[in-house]
Every structure is written in C-alpha cells, then in structure tokens.
Amino acid sequence: DTEVTQTPKHLVMGMTNKKSLKCEQHMGHRAMYWYKQKAKKPPELMFVYSYEKLSINESVPSRFSPECPNSSLLNLHLHALQPEDSALYLCASSRGTGTVRATNEKLFFGSGTQLSVL
C-alpha cells in the first residue's frame, strides 16, 4: 500500500464552522506533513510531524490546529476560517524523520482536500 488517503475530497464551510481534514497512510512512514496550495501557486509547508511530535510549524494561524493521534493518522482541525483560507490542502508522508540526513526521502502525497470558506 503506497497511498496517502485524504478525506474529504471537497469541503465547503462557513466562517463560524468547525471542521476537520483527515489524512491516513499505512506505509510505516514516521514523518507527515500538511501543505496549503492556492490556485496556480506552489504548495506551502504548514506543519511537519516527526514520530507523532510536531517538529515544524511555519507560523500558521491558530485557526489551523494539527493533530497526530498515531503514526498513521494526521488531522487538521479548522475553526473560524477566513475566505482567504480557501485552498487545496495536501497531506504528505515520508519514511524517516527530519533529523536523519537522508535527503533522498521523497514525499508521498495524498490527492488533497479542496476547501472553500464562505
């Protein structure tokens, strides 16, 4: 199984809603990532988890709250989002942790959640 599964594929929410994005992988990867991608832009790193611990937070607003319940799951909890948060949210995983200088570890991406905030 070489897949990263993201649910839901599409999400429309109001600014007062609370919702969660889910990501799952069963490749035994110990690093998981959230990226945000606006239309016609490159993915921008939001968070990195290594061994279920948050290792990188790229100054993301607190209305985005990541959670890594176990080594296979990664959630992104959304609350009080703004219309400018509408984007494609991509989850990815890689084999090792950041402290290993294995620069050939490629990211495996999910197909993303297209989020629209009204």
Partner 1 sequence: AQKITQTQPGMFVQEKEAVTLDCTYDTSDPSYGLFWYKQPSSGEMIFLIYQGSYDQQNATEGRYSLNFQKARKSANLVISASQLGDSAMYFCAMREVSSGGYQKVTFGTGTKLQVIP
Contacting residues toward partner 1, per CB under 8 A: 31, 33, 40-45, 48, 50, 55-56, 88, 90, 92, 97-101, 103-112, 114
Q: How far is the CB of 18 from partner 1 (least distance, A)?
A: 24
Q: How many CB atoms lie within 10 A of CB 78?
A: 20
Shortest reach from residue 16's CB to partner 1, in Å:
27
Cα angle for residues 106, 75, 71 (degrees, 5° grid): 55
Residue 27: CB minimum distance to partner 1, A: 13
> Which among 32, 34, 47 is positioned nearest to 97, based on CA atoms?
32
Bridge partners for 48 per DSSP:
33, 56
Question: Residue 16 or 103: which CB sits closer to partner 1?
Answer: 103
